Amino acid sequence: MKFKKALAMVLAGAMALSLAACGGNGSSESTDDNQAKADSGELSVSIWDSYQEPGIKEILADFTEKTGIKTKLTVVKWDEYWTMLEAGAQGGSLPDVFWMHSNESERYMSNGMLLDLTDKIAESDTIDPENYPEDIWGLYTYEDKYYAVPKDVDTIALWYNKTLFDEAGLAYPTADWTWDDVTEAAKKLTKEDGSQYGLAMRNDNNQEGYYNMVFDNGGYIISDDKTKSGWDDPKTIEAMETLEGWIQDGLMPSLETMSENSVDVLFQSGKVAMVCQGSWMLPAYKSNEYTSENCDVVELPKNATTGRRASVYNGLGWAASANGKNTENAWKLIEYLGSKEAQEKQAELGVTMSAYKGTSDAWTKSADFNLQAYLNMMDDMEIRPYSRSTVTWENEDSELLKSVYTGEKSMADACKEMAAQMNDKLEEEAQ
């Protein structure tokens, strides 16, 4: 009896503890098969956007045809992508070639996880840094060394539902619109019974949403030396109060609705008349019957006082694992993906705008929308605010913003809290 009890104890304990096991080991199994592929000479390629998958697949097939090197593409959702990569980096089994993002790049570069491409780029005939935007290189440069080749560049523009505008008897948005015009139109497009709203911008729509308004108004998110948050800057707060106005006037669906259904789904189902979206959403809107028929896109509005129309922009990079088995082939693939030919193809297929200068015209012809708007947004661009621990403060920012949506706090108070927490994290970063 005693023994039985003791055994039950141990078993119960073991069950409780098996959870703790995750803490140490993470999900390192998931990347095991990457290693297996490396042995057979096949390059493993990882990305997170399933909308881009068909286009990327086609480009990879071209590469295989040219060089005979086989590739295996895996798509992992954004959230899990970084968990997978983290475990892979820790366990020494990163994919051979993968997407890098400005949120995370510095951590990976400074820890020697990414293959140093500096010499290879210098020797290469196809990759000339001159041909890509300098800021994008900046995201993937650490101590004057290149760790990724720019894949794309993205800007933000305003999508609107033509049918809903027609029904309300309103003129379509133009490039001359200000944010105030958006507010006015949204008021007329919102129906009292909650069946239709003027616009939608969620608490986590930073890059494609309120960051742009902040820059338009002369505010900032993070100081250039990455030591201070700009959330408590009066200009920033003023810009964010436009958003607060939309919330208070009920021009947007409730946060509950937006979180349960997501902004782009609400737009794609005609529940919302306007939404700010990045150029990376094109494949989604193009393939959706409703949006391709009823919707179009236009440049972001200007700020009425400053007259500025800025677009936050960002660009992904193709990076390779520093300790992969096939670094030579991995470089060949990255070199191909960065080449004018592949970048042009990416634009033509409408996957995204390409980083290679002058290839984006092909992209504007890839669908029946006014995609020129996205190109025009390139006239005044601000790089997506980042630091070493972007994810940490950015997530906390959107967490704090929720309280404005639910009406618990005023925007000014929330912004001050956001600044405080961000400054704490930046200080920790500097240590």
Partner 1 sequence: MDKKRKLAGTSRERSEFLWGWLFILPTMAGLIILNLIPIFQTIYQSFFKTGDFGRGNIFVGLDNYVKVFGNKEVWQALINTLKYAIVEVPFSIAIALVLAVLLNRKMRGRSVYRTIIFLPMVAAPAAVAMVWRWLFNSDFGLINNLFHIHVKWISDPKIAVFSIAVIGVWSILGYNMVLFLSGLQEIPHDYYEAAEIDGATGVKSFFYITVPLLSPTIFFVLVTRVISSLQVFDLIYMVIDKTNPALEKTQSLVYLFYKYAFINKNMGYGATIVVLLLVLTMILTVFQMIGQKKWVFYN
Residue ranges that bind partner 1, judged by CB under 8 A? 1, 5, 8-9, 12-26, 79, 82-83, 86, 89-90, 107, 110-111, 113, 202-204, 255-262, 389, 391-392, 395, 398-399, 402, 405-406
Single-letter residue type at 81: Y
CA distance 185 to 173: 9
| Closer residue to partner 1 in complex, CB, 344/394 | 394
R_g of the chain computed on alpha carbons: 23
| Closer residue to partner 1 in complex, CB, 99/220 | 99
- Burial class of 353 by CB neighbour count within 10 A (0 to 12, 13 to 18, 19+): buried
Neighbours of 320 (CB within 10 A): 27
| Closer residue to partner 1 in complex, CB, 130/143 | 143
Residue 251 tokens, joined: 């021009």
Single-letter residue type at 18: S
| Closer residue to partner 1 in complex, CB, 84/349 | 84
Residue 50 tokens, joined: 């399933």
Least Å distance, CB 193 to partner 1, is 12
Contact 273, 131 (CB under 8 A): no
Contact 30, 90 (CB under 8 A): no
Q: What are phi and psi of 341, to 5 degrees?
A: -60, -50
| Closer residue to partner 1 in complex, CB, 154/204 | 204
The alpha-helical segments, DSSP class H, found in 199-288 are 211-216, 234-248, 255-261, 263-268, 282-287
Least Å distance, CB 311 to partner 1, is 23
| Closer residue to partner 1 in complex, CB, 137/405 | 405
Single-letter residue type at 274: M
Which residues share a beta bridge with 97? 45, 320
Contact 208, 276 (CB under 8 A): yes
| Closer residue to partner 1 in complex, CB, 107/235 | 107
Least Å distance, CB 1 to partner 1, is 7
Least Å distance, CB 148 to partner 1, is 17
